[in-house]
Amino acid sequence: MLIKNTVKHLKNVIKHKKWVFHYACKAGIPIQGAMHDLSKFHPTELIESIMYYKDGVSPLKESKKANGYSKAKLHHCHVNKHHYEYWQDNYDNGCEPLIMPYNYTLELICDYLAAARTYINDNDNIDYKKEYEWFMEHKYNNKAISMHPAMLEFIKQVFEQMAKDNSDDILEKHSFMERLYNTIVLKSLTNKGCVI
């Protein structure tokens, strides 16, 4: 069982990394795509993921169910800058989400798209409308989420365009994407005086 779980988990990780790299190349961040999620091979993440591996279920959720927390999840989110959980400050006062740099926000979008191809669709097709709906339900409309509102808005607008076009072509419009990000961030800073 241990060997079978190891093989299945590593297969998922490699497939996920392949798709992140695919999207990262389109987004103009190929080196980040190649380096994406290397921490999944770190013993803290790898051992727990194998121990709690279950087909179709996140091993980190299974660990959290069993233990009340996941060491792998904590490690993963605190060493990978494409996770919004990494960009937090002011812990003693309930936490304050920070604005993520543009390149890491792009990597997060690539991560979401790759996760859909790896864990949900399990094929080479993706329904961008479903991705948009997933984002709206699980992230954008989630009042408890600790992602900076400007990041939520930027990702929402990108996924909204993908759903409208049923395509990821927007990722290749590098100058448009950067202008969109900068416009949303600037508006956020002007309106609220947020911290970067």
Q: What are the structural domain ranges in the chain?
A: 85-192
pLDDT tens, per residue, the chain with 196 residues: 889 999 999 999 999 999 999 999 999 999 999 999 999 999 999 999 999 998 878 899 999 999 999 999 999 999 999 999 999 999 888 889 999 999 999 999 999 999 998 877 555 678 999 999 999 999 999 988 999 999 999 999 999 999 999 999 999 999 999 999 999 999 998 876 544 4
For Cα atoms 104, 15, 86, give the angle at the middle one, nearest 5 degrees: 25
**In 57-71, which positions are buried (b, 16+ CB within 10 angstroms) versus exposed (e)?**
ebbbebbbeeeeebe
